[in-house]
Amino acid sequence: MSTWEATGVGSHPGEDHLEAIRVVLGEVPGLPYLPELPSRGVGADLVGRTAGLLVDLPVEVQPSGWRLCDRPGRDHQRAVDHLRRDLDGLEELAHDYAGPLKLQVCGSWTLAGSIELRHGDKVLSDAGAVRDLTASLAQGVADHCAEVRRRLPGVTEIVLQLDEPGLPGVLAGTVPTASGFGRLAAVEEWRVEESLPLFGAPVVHCCAPSVPFDLLRRAGVRGVSVDASLLRRRDEEALGELFEAGMVLFLGVVPGRDTRLADAGGVARPAVDLWRRLGFAPERLAEQVVLTPSCGLAGASPAYAKAALAACRKAARVLHEDPAWAQGG
């Protein structure tokens, strides 16, 4: 069971990676994470940053986006350099940190729907290419986690988050072809289910509607990260089964862009209301629900990003310190 209270999804505004790391360590010390700063440009975006981890599958940027290529070039190196700089900053600022740490990478299905083959359509169009990409990513992620452990020996566990905003579209057959004039065929659920254990027991983040909760539960993931505002009543039976299986829900309860933030009770309300409807014991709420912003914070101001994390932490403390509040309000 989790005692993580609160964390962030991953992305932050601006280009100052040291300041972003300071904010994370200060505002969500129970489960800090390595922040991503996509506004730095090529190689700092979700796809490029993760593509830089691939083993023996170099990438480059074309007018249409990221594409596999024959040998590492400037674009690939830029992604590698961004991540190395971030790790250097994390090592500098968290050298004496002890506890869990979350790392985020783009999941293989969203990646396959975003990267093009050397001479053809997207990787997602070729089942063999998807298998190769997934294996390469799994090895690259394992190497990445090992490097973080070497740099930060006080880390007690690494919580791996796979960002899969494209997964519902992959399953529904709505991912556009490289030309944009067609749609790639829907992928069978068993293929996705079979791929996820290659990454251990990750947390899967999906900030799109129609999250495949049943599939993720069958795949044995550790948890699921979603935007509370996108949940529908029809999702609740699947969520109940997820909680019964002992999984953790990372629930996005504050907007990812600047707005007026509610007080702690208001921020916690979506989690409390969901828990009451499901009918679980109040004390389990704080063990199985981690509060987060609804998605990444790259589109927010730096001040709001800090305030959003602080709001999640304060709301989570309400649930931890007074479990009965989840029952009586």
Got the DSSP string for 104-124?
EEE-HHHHHTTSBPTTSSBGG
DSSP-assigned beta bridge partners for residue 86? none
- The 10s digit of each residue's pLDDT in 216-248 is 999 999 999 999 999 999 999 999 999 999 999
DSSP-assigned beta bridge partners for residue 104? 161
Average pLDDT, the chain: 95
Domains and CATH numbers, the chain: 17-328 (3.20.20.210)
- The 10s digit of each residue's pLDDT in 115-127 is 999 988 999 999 9
In the block, residue with structure tokens 């983040």: 205
The number of residues making up the chain comes to 329
For residues 123-143, one letter each, b for 16 or more C-beta atoms within 10 angstroms of the residue's C-beta and e for the rest, the string is: bbbbeebbebbbbbbbebbbe
- The 10s digit of each residue's pLDDT in 280-294 is 998 899 999 999 999
In the block, residue with structure tokens 């050397």: 118
- The 10s digit of each residue's pLDDT in 135-189 is 999 999 999 999 999 999 999 999 999 999 999 999 999 999 988 899 999 999 9
Mean pLDDT confidence for 269-285: 93
The answer to whether residue 313 scores a pLDDT higher than 90 is yes
CA-CA distances (angstroms) from residue 233 to 44, 209, 223, 277? 36, 12, 19, 10
- pTM here is 0.95
